[in-house]
Structure 1
Amino acid sequence: MTTTEQKRKPIRIWVDGCFDVTHFGHFNALRQAKAMGDYLVVGVHSDAEIEHHKGPTVMKEDERYAAVAACKWVDEVVPNAPYLTSIEWMDKYNCDFCVHGDDITTLADGTDCYQVVKDAGRYRECKRTQDISTTELVGRMLLMTRDHHKRRGSINSSSITSVNSAELGTFSATPATKVSHILPTSRKIVQFSEGKEPEDGDKVVYVDGTFDLFHTGHIEFLKRAKQLGDYLLVGIHDDQTVNAIKGSNYPVMNLHERVLSVLSCRYVDEVVIGAPYSVTEQVLEKVYKVNVVAHGNTPSFNDKDGQDPYQLAKDRGIYVEIDNPQNSVTTETIIDRIITHRKVYEDRQRRKEQKAALEREAEAAEKAAAAAAAQ
């Protein structure tokens, strides 16, 4: 290391936001922000602050704080951050500049939330992830009804088919379910993956699941699973398998979206994309030598042949159940929040769409003004 490198002051970055129904678009922004410096501080707005400027939240503030804290690119979380990004708050946490996506975010009165830091020359932009947002996810959930929550006792073998890379980005469980048309690329997977291999002597832990609407219940489960060993391998079931298990409108998020969300978690080392529903010898031997198979202490549905999906792991004496104190937060309870308060969220969606239209107009005007000034 040179003398210059030794003396260089670490670059501290400020990012703030709602992070409501935290998704891979949020994680991608945090990944890009961290790449611009050395230490990432993330301010998360309170429920009251968000309701004033945008409408009611889906996830409670403590759930949102925990979701951001679990992101592997985040170094520090600041709860109850103000909606208007200020120089004073950035200075309080010794941040050199603020990073936000290349879209305009406004206060309730239409003011640009980042105008102050832009004017101070302490603003940087990252690329917004297309076709994913909290508004879009709430829209998907609003298409569901409680009838769609009914699970099946076992997987119907006639409904399971393999998923290939061409189908991965556009699969929808039913025509009525709005699923984003993000196209998967190997580059995006590589950007999110650490590429870390287990070292000799490492205890490899395997867990599997749906991980739909990635939330604090998933995070706490993965944290506890990682504590059972040194290397955590996570199997993520494909869309057809999830649909066969859970019913009509599941999954809410497609396989590619769910993979990126899981890869963002600091407790996860690697994922198996489209993992089989039952833990097979191939899973236990062919990816890495698995020492422990863990599952939550909730019932699992039998496979298409009526067998316990964890029977092989149990026979080998490597199966462990994990008690999860966060099991009250599930994909189903999140959807229930939307369905139960359907009118509230439909009103929120309308307001968000109106506000988004105004923000797009303001963004276009800003770009036009910048182009005119450059001439």
Structure 2
Amino acid sequence: MDYENNNWIWDGVYNFPHLFGGLMLTAALLGFSTSYFGGIGVPHLPYLWSDMGIFYKKKCDKRRIRVYMDGCFDLMHYGHANALRQAKALGDELVVGVVSDEEIISNKGPPVLSMQERLALVSGLKWVDEVIANAPYEITEQFMNRLFNEHKIDYIIHGDDPCLLPDGTDAYALAKRVGRYKQIKRTEGVSSTDIVGRILGSLRDRKVSEDQNDTSLNGDPKGESQPKGAHLSQFLPTSRRIVQFSNGKGPGPNARVVYIDGAFDLFHAGHVEILKSARKLGDFLLVGVHKDQIVSEHRGKDHPIMHLHERSLSVLACRYVDEVIIGAPWEVTNDMITTFNISLVVRGTNSENNFSLSGEGDPYSVPKSMGIFKLLDSPSNITTTSVAQRIIANHDAYKKRNAKKSASEKKYYAEKKYVSGD
């Protein structure tokens, strides 16, 4: 197998310049002396000096380390984003493989998002440099050769949670065997399985609520109970995680700051596209992520599916976003516009917050009166509700898929060990 790099000489020149410099000088003097006594073979000193530029160039142009990480990236969440952030930290350039629909179906069950939607989500992350579509679920010898030879990959990355094929074998066994595998720490508290479970749980709560309401009409006092609403998250937010996701830079004094707000629940391809469009209108994109209570008031008690800090990290991981207001107010006020030096407020046409039908006041009345409001045509018609409906429409298939995945996740948590780095 053609995995080895035969440029050890140049690597030695770069990593041990003094040693190779000494050898070069010795060879040059030897060539001078043998020439003086009529010897032939080793070049003269002036000839060697003319090639010194090769070594200097090698030192300046150190080859960048390229790492590869793959995944299904179905129902993209901050756990995916954090995994790719960690992978990028192990190299200079991150290449991401997005597993094909067919491979997901045969190894895990039906995907929720299409390949194009998953590609848009992965490409929209700030740590991703290149994307390979329709990657295989298993790192085969043929695909590994392609990664090493065509894509110049140095290391293959995966989390510390096991990735098993249907026959129970390790999908990354070959990469580990050739010494080109590195491991990162899994981001706990969320998974695609967990999110599907929340959606199915919300559906169950809604049915329970409807049954209770029907019963209450017949005089059952238990009909006063309310649905559970959004399900508990295991995510433990830390200030460090927010800093890791943040760009760490504010707008310049003359920057054109564009503001857009929303729930950004179940972060999807439609969110990426509208944020990309908004970013093109200015120098700095500020995104307001509404509080859980606000989302619940406008979309129902089973929303949001993802909680405030989960939604904020998903938005912050997007390459088009510069800053996030965590728990943004519903109304865009004059004070808020002044505080953040907002030049333009935008809203997508494909929004689930239809305040005109709710009888409430327009939350954008102030920027509209100031002439700094713009309605953007949404590039995609996908919404949080439409994604959730895909899961609900295939309830039995996803319930079966989740039962299998939940069992493997419980086993992981029971046997997990600490992995350094995060």
TM-score interval, normalised by the smaller of the two chains: 0.7 to 0.9
Structure-2 change in CA distance of 1:143 and 1:253 (3 Å)? same
Q: Give the match for residue 280 of structure 2.
A: 227
Structure-2 change in CA distance of 1:312 and 1:77 (3 Å)? same
Using the size of structure 2 for normalisation, the TM-score is: 0.76
Using the size of structure 1 for normalisation, the TM-score is: 0.85
Q: Give the match for residue 208 of structure 1.
A: 261
Distance 1:48 1:275 in 2: 40
Residue 123 (structure 2) pairs with residue 69 (structure 1): yes
Does the CA-based 8 Å contact 2:189-2:236 persist in structure 1?
A: no
Q: Give the match for residue 88 of structure 1.
A: 145
Q: Give the match for residue 275 of structure 1.
A: 328
Structure-2 change in CA distance of 1:174 and 1:188 (3 Å)? farther
Residue 185 (structure 2) pairs with residue 127 (structure 1): yes
Structure-2 change in CA distance of 1:235 and 1:176 (3 Å)? closer
SS at match of 1:14: strand
For structure 1, list consecutive stretches of 5 or more residues without a partner in the other structure: 150-172, 368-375
The structure with the larger Rg is: 2
Q: Give the match for residue 242 of structure 1.
A: 295
Aligned positions of 1:189-338 closer than 5 A: 189-286=242-339, 288-298=340-350, 300-302=353-355, 306-327=360-381, 329-338=382-391
Distance 2:388 2:234 in 1: 21
Residue 75 (structure 2) pairs with residue 21 (structure 1): yes
Distance 1:85 1:324 in 2: 37
Does the CA-based 8 Å contact 1:139-1:178 persist in structure 2?
A: no
Q: CA deviation at 1:141?
A: 0.5
User: CA RMSD, aligned part only?
Assistant: 2.3
Aligned positions of 1:25-36 closer than 5 A: 25-36=79-90
Q: Give the match for residue 53 of structure 2.
A: none
Does the CA-based 8 Å contact 1:148-1:248 persist in structure 2?
A: no
Does the CA-based 8 Å contact 2:262-2:289 persist in structure 1?
A: yes
SS at match of 1:145: helix
Instruction: Select the structure with the greater relative contact order (CA < 8 A; seq sep ≥ 6).
Output: 1
Distance 2:269 2:412 in 1: 31
For structure 2, list consecutive stretches of 5 or more residues without a partner in the other structure: 1-55, 208-225, 418-422
Deviations 1:100-146 (A, max 9, x none): 11111011111101111011111111110011100000000111239
Residue 61 (structure 2) pairs with residue 7 (structure 1): yes
Q: Give the match for residue 157 of structure 1.
A: none
| 2:92 corresponds to which of 38, 42, 67 | 38
SS at match of 2:135: coil
Q: Give the match for residue 118 of structure 1.
A: 176
SS at match of 1:143: helix
Structure-2 change in CA distance of 1:278 and 1:355 (3 Å)? same
AA in 2 matched with 1:338: I
Distance 2:249 2:278 in 1: 18
AA in 2 matched with 1:194: N
SS at match of 1:109: coil
AA in 2 matched with 1:293: V
Q: CA deviation at 1:198?
A: 1.0
Distance 1:4 1:255 in 2: 48
Does the CA-based 8 Å contact 2:190-2:234 persist in structure 1?
A: no
Deviations 1:49-99 (A, max 9, x none): 100000000111111111000000000000000111242232131100011
Distance 1:307 1:353 in 2: 44
Structure-2 change in CA distance of 1:358 and 1:88 (3 Å)? farther
Distance 1:305 1:350 in 2: 42
Distance 1:147 1:180 in 2: 16
Q: CA deviation at 1:201?
A: 2.0
Distance 2:97 2:63 in 1: 22
Distance 1:28 1:107 in 2: 24
| 1:144 corresponds to which of 189, 196, 202 | 202
AA in 1 matched with 2:346: A
Does the CA-based 8 Å contact 1:259-1:273 persist in structure 2?
A: yes
Distance 1:8 1:176 in 2: 54
Distance 1:233 1:359 in 2: 38
Aligned positions of 1:183-194 closer than 5 A: 183-194=236-247
Q: Give the match for residue 166 of structure 1.
A: none
Q: CA deviation at 1:174?
A: 5.8
Does the CA-based 8 Å contact 2:93-2:129 persist in structure 1?
A: yes
SS at match of 1:235: strand
Q: Which has the higher helix share?
A: 2
Deviations 1:176-234 (A, max 9, x none): 54231212211110000011111132111000000000001111000000011110000
Q: Give the match for residue 164 of structure 2.
A: 106
Q: CA deviation at 1:248?
A: 1.3
Q: Give the match for residue 41 of structure 2.
A: none
